[in-house]
Amino acid sequence: MDAIIETGYWRNDSLGAHVQLMFPAIYKLSCAMHGLRYFPYDEQNCTFIISSWTHDSSTIDYYARDSSVNLKNFQKNQEWDVISFEFQRFAQKYKCCEHPWVMLYAHLVIRRRPLYYIINLVIPTSIITCVAVTGFFTPSSTSTERDEKLYLGINTLM
């Protein structure tokens, strides 16, 4: 992710000097998981803020080069698909200060790939449940087959 940060410390409008710091960075963050009700078909929305706590827009101004993040060199993940990754610039004006404080909001939307969970969780659970329920509803006899059927149903559910 390339963020463009402008600083006003070296800006001199009469001389036309302008400094722009562009640096690639790797940010590691965590996001609270919401909406696990639809697991493994869930979609997660994560928002994080890039801002300065000590400088307003007169000294440091944040803005994104593009509104969406360039995912050309993105390495795909086995568990998640990136649906969208966009920036939104917001300038907050406070009563105390002459200049606004600039914040960059990064909105990341990811969707889980469900194939792994379907193969390893949903299908085996469905088969075991069908075998157990079928075993309970098969006709029984008065011999030892009745006990074996009951043991098979209980063991299958376990």
Whether residues 124 and 66 fall in one domain? no
Of 120 and 7, which is predicted with more confidence?
A: 120
Whole-angstrom distance, CA of residue 108 vs CA of residue 33: 13
Q: What is the CATH number of the domain that holds 59?
A: 2.70.170.10
Question: Which of 97, 113, 129 is the last residue in one of the domains?
Answer: 113
Over residues 47-73, mean pLDDT: 81
- Is pLDDT at 50 greater than 80 in this prediction? yes
Whether residues 107 and 123 fall in one domain? no
Whether residues 92 and 126 fall in one domain? no
Whether residues 66 and 123 fall in one domain? no
Whether residues 43 and 92 fall in one domain? yes
Over residues 40-51, mean pLDDT: 88
Q: Which domain covers residue 141, as residue numbers? A: 117-157
Give the total number of structural domains in the chain.
Answer: 2
Whole-angstrom distance, CA of residue 153 vs CA of residue 147: 10
Please state, in angstroms and as integers, the Cα–Cα distance from residue 80 to each residue in 2, 110, 120, 153, following that order. 22, 6, 17, 37
End-to-end CA separation in angstroms for the chain: 48
Residue 132 contacts residue 59 (beta carbons within 8 Å): no
Whether residues 85 and 8 fall in one domain? yes
Whole-angstrom distance, CA of residue 32 vs CA of residue 88: 20
What does the pLDDT read at residue 110?
A: 92
Residue 117's CB is within 10 A of a number of other CB atoms, namely 15
Instruction: Quote the DSSP letter at residue 13.
Output: T
- Is pLDDT at 43 greater than 70 in this prediction? yes
Whether residues 69 and 126 fall in one domain? no
Record the pTM.
0.64
What does the pLDDT read at residue 123?
A: 92
- Is pLDDT at 16 greater than 50 in this prediction? no
- Is pLDDT at 2 greater than 60 in this prediction? no
Q: Provide the mean pLDDT of the chain.
A: 78
Whether residues 69 and 144 fall in one domain? no
Residues 79-136: tens digit of each pLDDT = 999 999 898 988 888 888 888 988 889 899 999 999 999 999 989 989 888 877 777 7
Examine residue 40 and say whether the peptide bond preceding it is cis (omega within 30 degrees of 0).
yes
Whether residues 17 and 32 fall in one domain? yes
What does the pLDDT read at residue 114?
A: 92
What does the pLDDT read at residue 38?
A: 87
Whether residues 100 and 145 fall in one domain? no
Whether residues 104 and 122 fall in one domain? no
What does the pLDDT read at residue 112?
A: 92
In the chain the beta strands, taken as DSSP E runs, fall at: 2-12, 17-24, 43-51, 60-64, 80-92, 101-112
What does the pLDDT read at residue 74?
A: 82
